[in-house]
Amino acid sequence: MPDPTAGFPASTTTSLPDAASVRIDCPAKTNMMLRVGRERTEARNRHRLETLYCGIGVYDTVTLRPRRPGSGYTLTLEGEHLGDLAEAGTGAGPGGAKPTVDPAHAIENHAVRALLAMSDAYAIPPDIAITISKGIPVGAGLGGGSADAAGTLLGLKHMWGLAGPTSILEPIASQLGADMPFCLHGGLAIGTGFGQRLRIVEESSELGNKLRAEGFLGETLVGAYRTQLSTAEVYGVFDRLGSDPGDVNDLQRAALQLHPRSGVAIALALSAGATHAFVSGSGPSVIACVKDGDVSAAVQEAWHRHGAVDRSIRALSPVGPVLRAAGAIANASVRQ
């Protein structure tokens, strides 16, 4: 995993040596602000959004390796916290690893969908072995599936020698999911439309400086749960209840209705000195922004003493994806 002390990634892509395989460390995302508009039945019942995305230093690692021509793709899942993804495997390995994933389930995986979309777009056979090492909690409002898809797109762009900036992948990403274009870049960005229309925000910009001054950026705690929330279910409750005016996330009221422990975690974090605490995306994960290690330790102690979270993860924000070529010494930020 990338060193979380490395800070915000560079804004340009560094050249990487040619490699037979690549690894992409794909960060989670959260929404520092999420405003949800009225339901639009003409757009498959989707809601228009205005959001401020932020990359959080909790990572999945996607490894892509070429396979024999004509052999197709394979998918392997690894990690101790696979959630319902564990049901997709054909046999458990050490530490929760799944040596293979049944093809009937693999086709539903975001990374596989990204591979097949790239194969169609560029007429290149999808003879790729995908391995995903999960560090981002599953079904947690942290965009883990979208991060995996974005990492796959970025890795294939490098492996297949596709010219152009990262933004050439955005049309494919936006067809796969509203937050996937952001996951290609990480860092900070404003998303509109259904979240797929991006305006990159530099950390050194006026808005970036304002967010840091207000304590939103820097050291961050993620309160994670074994419980997962269905995004569709959260939106269904939102349609009935609406939002609370004081929340930075319009979905928070609905998420807390379905998962009250997140509300306990928010209250405890704020009491322990967190600058901000809120539900991430559609939940149930909680983000706590803390000014230093002492506050971080106080929040974690309160969470675990009261059983408000199942585990806590320390991270930095904002961060972006990092691509590593096989045999390469240096890492390369892919944010553009």
| Residues annotated as part of the active site | 29, 179
Alpha-carbon gap, residue 154 to 143, rounded angstroms: 16
Residue 263: Cβ within 10 Å count: 18
Nearest residue to 75 via CA among 136, 131, 148, 125 = 131
Strands (E), the chain: 22-40, 46-66, 74-78, 128-133, 188-192, 197-201, 218-224, 276-279, 286-289, 311-317, 322-325, 332-333
What φ, ψ does residue 42 adopt, rounded to 5°?
-75, -10
Alpha-carbon gap, residue 170 to 158, rounded angstroms: 15
Alpha-carbon gap, residue 248 to 229, rounded angstroms: 19
Nearest residue to 283 via CA among 258, 307, 302, 319 = 258
Q: Which residue has the tokens 């003409």?
A: 42
